[in-house]
């Protein structure tokens, strides 16, 4: 139940951020080239939305297996060794995410403590930047899910399988041509 709720929130936020970036950018272009007017805050808002999209998208990519990587060596290993290597890799990814979570928490805390305001928007800078620690906390959760599935022996992976995707799409295209 919590997992479905979290996935729905994550996907909704990503969709909202993409739509909002598109609307703000489109409005800025129309305002500038049709009305010779510019929204001062449009670029900054779009940058904040894009940053949020990146930090939420990292964990989404882990959830759907969309991250690419070089796994040629791993595919040469026996299944048991590859499984152990996948567990070790996932533990290292969790450790890395914890380090960056801690660093981003310190960064956002200092911005909050100092009271730095955004340049063009009337908000404190810590507000849009709080997505950094939130995104890495969500990333730790997603890596935890992968680790749990690996430990249970279920099929789980940190990387997408580009070859399988390409073959699937190729077979889909071949079926349409008949």
pLDDT digits (tens, 9 = 90+) for 28-58: 999 998 898 888 899 999 999 999 999 999 9
The answer to whether 33 and 113 have CB atoms below 8 angstroms apart is no
The pair of structure tokens assigned to 23 is 């609307």
Nearest residue to 28 (alpha-carbon basis) of 42, 17, 18: 42
Looking at residue 176, its pLDDT comes to 59
- Answer yes or no: is pLDDT of 134 > 80: yes
Looking at residue 91, its pLDDT comes to 93
To the question of pTM greater than 0.85 for the whole model, the response is no
Collect all residues with Cβ–Cβ distance below 8 Å to 41 and sequence separation of at least 6.
120, 121
Question: Helix or strand or coil: residue 140?
Answer: helix
- Answer yes or no: is pLDDT of 159 > 70: no
Quickly count: other Cβ atoms within 10 Å of residue 111's Cβ.
17
- Range 173-178 average pLDDT: 57
Quickly count: other Cβ atoms within 10 Å of residue 87's Cβ.
15
Looking at residue 93, its pLDDT comes to 92
Distance from C-alpha of 125 to C-alpha of 111, rounded to nearest angstrom:
7
The pair of structure tokens assigned to 52 is 């949020």
Distance from C-alpha of 26 to C-alpha of 20, rounded to nearest angstrom:
10
- Answer yes or no: is pLDDT of 80 > 60: yes
Confidence category of residue 153, pLDDT binned at 50, 70, 90: confident
Give percent above pLDDT 70 in the chain. Answer: 85
For 134, half-sphere exposure in the C-beta direction (CA atoms, 13 angstrom radius) is 15
């Amino acid at each position: 139940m919590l997992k479905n709720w979290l996935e729905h929130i994550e996907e909704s936020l990503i969709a909202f951020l993409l739509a909002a970036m598109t609307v703000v950018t489109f409005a800025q272009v129309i305002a500038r080239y049709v009305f010779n007017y510019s929204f001062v805050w449009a670029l900054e808002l779009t940058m904040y939305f894009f940053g949020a999209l990146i930090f939420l998208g990292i964990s989404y990519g882990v959830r759907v297996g969309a991250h690419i990587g070089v796994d040629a060596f791993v595919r040469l290993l026996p299944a048991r060794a590859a499984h152990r290597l996948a567990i070790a890799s996932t533990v290292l990814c969790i450790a890395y995410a914890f380090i960056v979570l801690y660093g981003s928490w310190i960064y956002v805390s200092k911005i909050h403590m100092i009271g730095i305001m955004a340049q063009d928007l009337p908000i404190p800078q810590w507000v849009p930047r709080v997505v950094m620690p939130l995104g890495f906390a969500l990333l730790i959760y997603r890596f935890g899910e992968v680790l749990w599935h690996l430990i249970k022996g279920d099929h789980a992976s940190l990387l997408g399988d580009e070859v399988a995707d390409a073959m699937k799409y190729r077979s889909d295209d071949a079926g349409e041509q008949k």
